[in-house]
Structure 1
Amino acid sequence: MPDPLKFNSDAEAFQQKRLFRFRLYFAYGFVLLLFVFLISRMAHLQWYNYERYHGLAEGNRISIETLPPTRGKIYDRNHILLADNQPVYALSMIREKMDDIHAFELALMNLLEGSDPEKIEAYFKKFRQLNRSKAYTLPFSVSEEQAARFSVMSYKFPGVTLTARLKRVYPHKSTAVHALGYVGRINVKELKKLNEQEYLGTNIIGKAGIERFYEDRLHGSPGVQQIETNARGRILRKLETTPATPGEDIHLTLDIELQKYAESLFKDKVGSIIALDPQNGEILAFASMPTFDPNLFVDGIDQKNYSRLLNDPHRPFINRAINGQYPPGSTIKPFVALGAIEKDYISPTKKIYDPGYFDYAGHRYRDWKRTGHGLIDLNAAIAQSCDTYFYELSLTMGVDAIHDAMSPFGFGEKTNIDIIGESKGILPSQQWKMETKGKPWYRGETIISSIGQGYNLTTPLQLAKATAILANRGKIIQPHLLKDELKDSSSSQIAIKKISNWDSVIQGMVDVMHGKKGTARRHGKGLPFKVAGKTGTAQVFGLNQGKYNADELAKRLHDHSLFIGFAPVDNPKIAVAVIVENGGSGSKTAAPMAINLMKHYLEEKLTGISTQTESKQ
């Protein structure tokens, strides 16, 4: 039997040896090729791309975080805090560390039970479009309970970090909101206009009022810090920090206690009160009613609250102090009268007869007093608010002369207060009508313009400024809300030929309050100081010769109630303008509100002023 281990022939043995050598060389070659590949790959990684992969490796260990600046605080004139920053918890997220964003979103909703799911859903819709490697903060704070739950479950949320941040808080809630404004999340339109480097790590910006106007001061500049983390993203240590520059704290001219009192005077009424210091233009109270709570906007207002405010028939979003444009009514009579006697259109002592109406071109223009005022001069015309006197005077002057008399007091122009979005009102003239309406001016329009009706429109702030200038006897002031930055206007003075003309007009306003027949005389009784004032009633609804009966008209068609005034007369410390929408007679509604505000300020805030004034009298 042949041996199977032996080859049958030499040829077969040779063939087997050859095959073995081939396999051995192939194995050697394969191993050598593998080593060449490994060495070349190592060279590629270690030498040629060292900088790139070293940076990536360091990125896994060292990360750079932006340090948002602390927003500047806002105080009133007495150093009472109006806008503060409160520490809260927030969640910061990096998208590239999340495997399934949808599942992550649902898990987070469940974890943050109590938070608005619509806000979370809206955030993640936007989050999916953002840079994958950057950290973004959830647009609302989380409660301490939610923060505690997250800390326990944080291992389930890779890429999410619990951080502390400062949230804007308005401790007085709705008080002075139209002056302060509010902050809110930066939108796409705003983002395009901003310096992105200055807003790194920041997601809020001033939206209205002082918060918006002084955004550059309040915002500050961000800082950066390098931090070392482990494989799980847990912070090990801080390597290098460039601190953020905090925003500037600012003080306003507002007196928050006077502001609260001013707002309380409205109760359920709608309108505006402006009180300012006539000597320097500092605004003491800036009320627009109704108001709303600015805290609702800091983290983003929910749809329910936004709809409620938006659909409120009284429209609380409107800043009536600078955007409410109203017919000024009889409050303009002192300014028209001053222009008339200054340009010698009429003498202060000249009397006209008022039968209770004025006929012109077949139309009868009625006085507010149906029986008329009889013989009346300029002083009585202001004190008793005689319409007929000004009807007749207006045809002597003409609309352009009325325009020129009122323009220096700021009517028809923005006051340039430090709030964005102010309206300019309308001070009509022949040129204005031709440019805006494309029609000529008619004399009948001059008649109604003389008592603040027709095309005339003014804002409460314009009325307050004009009243302050009148109190100063022509010194033009600049209304402003920022304390310690008075714009010097001492060189600006309305030129008047006769100083006595100021006295004539102001005395008429004093008699409004303290005269025997003044329209607001009942509110001037018993005051420890003298007030110069002027009531006004602006018609909203045309009656076409009919008789006004408030009981038969809808509330929205009732007349507006107005009042302007300043006190004490000899040394004015406060000038006030009040407009109450659909409030009826100025003497019944706006006048007592203004007087109460003056009393509150002069007696509570400036103790001794009234006594000094009485001693002079």
Structure 2
Amino acid sequence: MTEHLEFHSDQERLQQKRLLRFRLYFALGFVLVLFLFLIGRMAYLQWYNFDRYHGLAEGNRISIEILPPTRGKIYDRNHVLLADNQPVYAIKMIREKMTDIDAVQQALQKLMPEVDPESMDKFFKRFKQGNRVKPYTLPFTLDEQQAAEYAVIGYQFPGVTLSARLKRVYPFHEHAVHALGYVGRINQKELQKLDPALYRGTDIIGKSGIEKYYEPILHGQPGVQQVETNARGRVLRKLETLPAIPGQDIHLTLDIKLQQYAESLFTQKRGGLVALDPQNGEVLAYVSMPTFDPNLFVDGIAHDTYRDLLNNPNRPFINRVINGQYPPGSTIKPFVALGAIENNVISPSKKIYDPGYFEYKNHRYRDWKRTGHGFVDMDAAITQSCDTYFYMLSLDMGIDNIHDALYPFGFGHRTGIDLYGESRGILPSQEWKRETKGKPWYRGETIISSIGQGYNLATPLQLAQATAVLANRGKVVQPHLLRMPLSEPSEQIEIKNIDNWERVITAMSHVMHSKKGTAHKHALDLGFKMAGKTGTAQVFSLKEANYNADEIDKSLHDHSLFIGFAPIDKPKIAVAVIVENGGSGSKTAAPMAVQLIKHYLEEQAKIPTGSGDQAS
């Protein structure tokens, strides 16, 4: 019995040992399998997918920042700064790292009360709908005090950083804005046409004027830098930098002092003025009035301010120098006369009788002087601006000959100035009317075309170029704003008889210096000889020869025009002036041009303007 019990006890112990050994082996196998799984998983993560996960890890620690290029500065001909870059502070945000966007908006609005709340709302609406990982820059800059105040509370807003950047600034504000242009925020239409690689990290672009035309030169190329950040997006240190390539600085032909003086002549007036160097086509002054401050557009103009400018009845956004198209009036008479005597249509010494009107097919075309000028030759017709002389001359020339005589001077086509959007003007001909109007040309239209009315339209720049070509005795120069040596030889208008050119220029000098000249009273104190021509362009047709300016609306008054150059023998400046609704050219535009030329020759060219020999 005892042996039987001992047998069962040994058997149970053996079974327990087997069970324990099985459990140990199972546990060991399970641990081994688990360990092998962990090794495999580690190998999968660390070796097979190393690049992917290393990149993700580094992305949480290292950020790539785009370094926008410094925009090139713009100077005038005397190295006076016209467009600068001013250090300011900007807010940059990444939506993925932000916890409360609305709180950020409220804090920024409180920090910058001068910012229009509607503009702030528009930005944050776009921001919330934009790319989660793309950095966005608030389009409103902070001054030093605002930046300091934000630095105190900035820790509360992860994903929002304060950084310094350069802001475009125009030190002379509204002066020369139509030539300089301005920069503004890149819109969606522009974004579709831009090279993304060149405009990474940049949110402004040239919108008009020189800023737009020379955008590829001024913009530069962006750089990149790697920075180490913490979990809240704060920069800890810079790791590697590829610097941006700044844009090139450029010098313009403008003289900002002359520009300011020219603009001061337009007190409460609308119009355009261009002053050229006849020798090389450099634009010395470029005036379109009224004007506006380009600094308003750099950070995005307020809606109300933009609306007020847009609805301004004086239309300050119009670049009148290249887009204002006006009847040239009597300013084209010297060019018509030159074409006539060069082509032997009339002798410069032939006289015609002016009773104060010219009749053609039962229609009376009146002269500006109701009593007439009596007997006049070509010199007297230009000096006294006799309309009747040119009425008669036009029928002998014909419209196509008038067109061919004026076209080489730049009328009817673009000058090619380095600005976008230049208008062509209109220089009519029989072919032009057939193509544009689908109607034949009538001789009565030739009559009024000879004095710059009818279909004729010209820009102030075209008038200035034509004046420069005449001053150069046929050498054609292209107006330009970028100061650079001319790479191409100038064209030369074919001259059949140089004496004809001198006769016309002499007649223009008589406009200024002869007692019967339409502008002689404005040139009494000049110590140099000047050539000029006044012009008056009708805004609407008249049934009577004259009108009472006090009885009609100011907007219907005649435009006042003048072209001129000086000195006559060695011209240094050619000027064209148009004053909208300014009345007679001798009354408004002529004194402005004379003052500008006198100022320029005294201050810049250093030519004495005291008493001296006068033209008779």
| Contact residue 513 and residue 614 of structure 2 kept, 8 A | no
Secondary structure of the residue aligned to 2:476 is coil
| Cα displacement (A) at 1:439 | 0.2
What is the SS of the residue equivalent to 2:423? coil
Deviation at 1:498, TM superposition (A): 0.8
Cα deviations by residue, 1:187-210 (Å, 9 ceiling, x for unpaired): 111111111111111111111001
1:433 corresponds in structure 2 to 433
- SS of match in other structure, 2:462: helix
Q: How does 1:211-290 map to 2 (within 5 A)?
A: 211-290=211-290
Alpha-carbon contact 2:97-2:233 (below 8 Å) kept: no
Residue-by-residue CA offset, 1:449-507 (whole Å, 9 max, x unaligned)? 000000000000000000000011111011011112425343x1111211110111111
Going from structure 1 to structure 2, the CA distance change for 1:384 and 1:200 (only over 3 Å counts) comes to same
TM-score (norm 1): 0.93
Name the structure 2 match of 1:3: none
How far did 1:282 drift? Answer: 0.6
CA–CA separation in structure 2 for the residues paired with 1:324 and 1:489? 29
Partner SS, residue 128 of structure 1: helix
CA shift at 1:31, angstroms? 6.6
Cross-structure match for 1:479: 479
2:82 aligned partner: 82
1:9 match: none
- 1:558 maps to what in 2? 557
Q: SS at 1:205's partner residue?
A: strand
Instruction: Report the TM-score when normalising by structure 2.
Output: 0.94
Q: Match of 1:166, as an amino acid? A: L
What pairs with 1:386-425 in structure 2 (closer than 5 Å)?
386-425=386-425
Instruction: Please name the residue that 1:329 is paired with.
Output: 329
Deviates most, 417-426 or 32-41 = 32-41
SS of the aligned residue for 2:506 comes to helix
Residue 158 of structure 2 aligns to which amino acid in structure 1? P
**What are the residue-to-residue correspondences of 1:93-492 with 2, within 5 Å?**
93-490=93-490, 492=491
CA-to-partner distance for each residue in 1:138-180, whole Å, 9 max, x for gaps?
Answer: 1121122221121111121111111000000000000000000
Distance 1:337 1:261 in 2: 33
Structure 2 match to 1:518: 517
AA partner of residue 216 (structure 1): P
Q: Secondary structure at the match of 1:346?
A: coil
Task: Kindly indicate whether residue 571 of structure 2 is the aligned counterpart of residue 575 of structure 1.
Answer: no
| Structure 2 counterpart SS, 1:197 | coil
Instruction: Return the alpha-carbon distance in structure 1 between the equivalents of residues 200 and 459 of structure 2.
Output: 39
Quick one: which amino acid aligns to residue 604 of structure 2?
A: K
Inter-partner Cα distance in structure 2 for 1:462 and 1:320: 12
Structure 1 Cα separation of the partners of residues 348 and 239 of structure 2? 81
- How many Å separate the matches in 1 of 2:384 and 2:155? 79
Query: Any conservation in 2 of the 1:519–1:535 contact (CA below 8 Å)?
Result: yes
Distance 1:547 1:609 in 2: 40
**Letter of the aligned partner of 2:539 in structure 1?**
V
Aligned counterparts of 2:77 and 2:282: Cα–Cα separation in 1: 10
Q: CA deviation at 1:520?
A: 0.7
- Give the partner amino acid of 1:411: F
Match of 1:503, as an amino acid? Answer: E
CA contact (8 A) 1:476 1:489 kept: no
Alignment-mate amino acid for residue 582 of structure 2:
G
Q: Offset of 1:62 from its aligned partner?
A: 1.9
Where does the alignment leave 5 or more consecutive residues of structure 1 unmatched? 1-12
Alpha-carbon distance between aligned partners in 1 of 2:614 and 2:241, rounded to the nearest angstrom: 65
Alignment of 1:19-34 (within 5 A): none
**Counterpart residue identity of residue 88, structure 1:** V
Contact 1:568 1:610 (C-alpha < 8 Å) held by counterparts? no
Question: Aligned equivalents of 1:247 and 1:186: distance in 2?
Answer: 18
Give the match for residue 42 of structure 1: 42
Please say if residues 93 and 161 of structure 1, whose CA atoms lie closer than 8 Å, have aligned partners that are also in contact.
yes
Deviates more, 1:132-141 or 1:427-436: 132-141
Q: CA deviation at 1:597?
A: 0.2
Partner-residue secondary structure (3-state), 1:534: strand
Amino acid at match of 2:198: E
CA–CA distance in structure 1, aligned partners of residues 275 and 64 of structure 2: 50
Amino acid at match of 1:433: K
SS at match of 1:199: coil
Task: Please say if residues 477 and 489 of structure 1, whose CA atoms lie closer than 8 Å, have aligned partners that are also in contact.
Answer: no
Q: Check whether the contact 1:94–1:159 (CA below 8 A) recurs between aligned residues.
A: yes
Q: Which residue of 2 aligns with 1:495?
A: 494
Q: CA deviation at 1:47?
A: 2.8
1:98 Cα deviation from its structure 2 partner = 1.7
- Distance in 2 (CA, whole Å) between partners of 1:511 and 1:78 is 35
Output the CA distance in 2 between the equivalents of 1:612 and 1:550: 36
- For residue 40 of structure 1, report the CA deviation from its aligned partner: 4.4
- Residues 155 and 356 of structure 1, relative CA distance in 2, 3 Å threshold: same
Deviates more, 1:215-224 or 1:436-445: 215-224
Q: How far has the Cα of 1:551 moved from its partner?
A: 1.1
**Count of aligned positions:** 608
After superposition, residues 517-556 of structure 1 pair within 5 angstroms as 517-545=516-544, 547-556=546-555
Q: Which runs of 5+ in 2 are unaligned?
A: 1-12
- Give secondary structure in 1 for the equivalent of 2:268: coil
Instruction: Give the Cα separation in 1 of the matches to 2:290 and 2:84.
Output: 23
SS in 1 for 2:123: helix
* Separation in structure 1 between the aligned mates of residue 349 and residue 544 of structure 2, nearest angstrom: 32
> Larger deviation: 546-555 or 556-565?
546-555
Cα contact 2:391–2:447 (8 A) shared by 1 = yes
Counterpart contact for 2:514–2:615, Cα < 8 Å? no
- Name the CA shift for 1:224/1:121 in 2 (closer, same or farther; >3 Å): same
Query: CA offset at residue 14 of structure 1?
Result: 14
Q: Alpha-carbon deviation of 1:545? A: 3.5
Taking a change above 3 Å as real, the CA distance of residues 563 and 128 of structure 1, as seen in their structure-2 partners, is: same
AA at the equivalent of 2:346:
I
Q: What letter corresponds to residue 266 of structure 1 in structure 2?
A: F
Secondary structure of residue in 2 paired with 1:92: strand
Q: Percent identity among equivalent residues?
A: 72
> Does the Cα contact within 8 Å between 2:512 and 2:523 map onto a contact in 1?
yes
Larger CA deviation: 540-549 vs 553-562: 540-549
In the TM superposition, residue 403 of structure 1 has moved relative to its aligned partner by: 0.3
Deviates more, 1:47-56 or 1:83-92: 47-56
Match of 2:606 in 1: 607
- Relative to structure 1, the CA distance from residue 616 to residue 439 in structure 2 (aligned partners, 3 Å threshold; closer, same or farther) is closer
Shift of 1:115: 2.7
Cα pair 2:529 2:615 within 8 Å, conserved: no
User: What RMSD in Å do the two structures reach over aligned CA positions?
Assistant: 2.5
Give the superposition deviation at 1:232. 3.5
Aligned to 1:6: none
8 A Cα contact 2:526 2:612, kept in partner: no
Q: Give the secondary structure class of the aligned counterpart of 2:269.
A: coil
C-alpha deviation, 1:612, in angstroms: 12
For residue 507 of structure 1, what is the aligned residue in structure 2?
A: 506
CA offset digits 1:3-37 (Å, max 9, x no partner): xxxxxxxxxx9999999999999988877776565
Q: Residue 563 of structure 1 aligns to a residue in which SS? A: strand
Distance in 2 between residues matched to 1:599 and 1:111, nearest whole Å: 52
Determine the C-alpha separation between the residues in 1 that align with 2:404 and 2:204.
45
Cα distance in 2 between the residues matched to 1:599 and 1:547: 33
* 3-state SS of 1:168 partner: strand
